[in-house]
Amino acid sequence: MELSIFPNPSSGNFKIQISKPVSVSIFSITGDLVMQEFEMTESRELNLNLESGIYFVHIKSGDETRTQKIIIY
């Protein structure tokens, strides 16, 4: 699975580029779920209205899972 999240760091506006349909969840650095799982079938922009800090984007596609760190300033 190809995955790209940019710009990183950002003020909360990110573009997620994917190569196939995925499920996305976002967690705080303490492990709290801050954005409920949602389905993505194509690349898209997200406007995350979250406090400054480090977050983890958890991406699932079938039995493949990836996690990427993002920073919001």
The fold of 3-72 is Immunoglobulin-like (2.60.40)
Check: CB of residue 55 under 8 Å from CB of residue 28: yes
For 10-33, what is the mean pLDDT?
A: 96
Whole-number Å distance between alpha carbons of 70 and 57: 7
Which pLDDT score is estimated for 52? 97
Percent of the chain with pLDDT over 90: 93
User: What pTM does this model have?
Assistant: 0.91
Whole-number Å distance between alpha carbons of 57 and 4: 11
Q: What is the pLDDT of residues 22-49, one digit of tens each?
A: 999 999 999 999 999 899 999 999 999 9
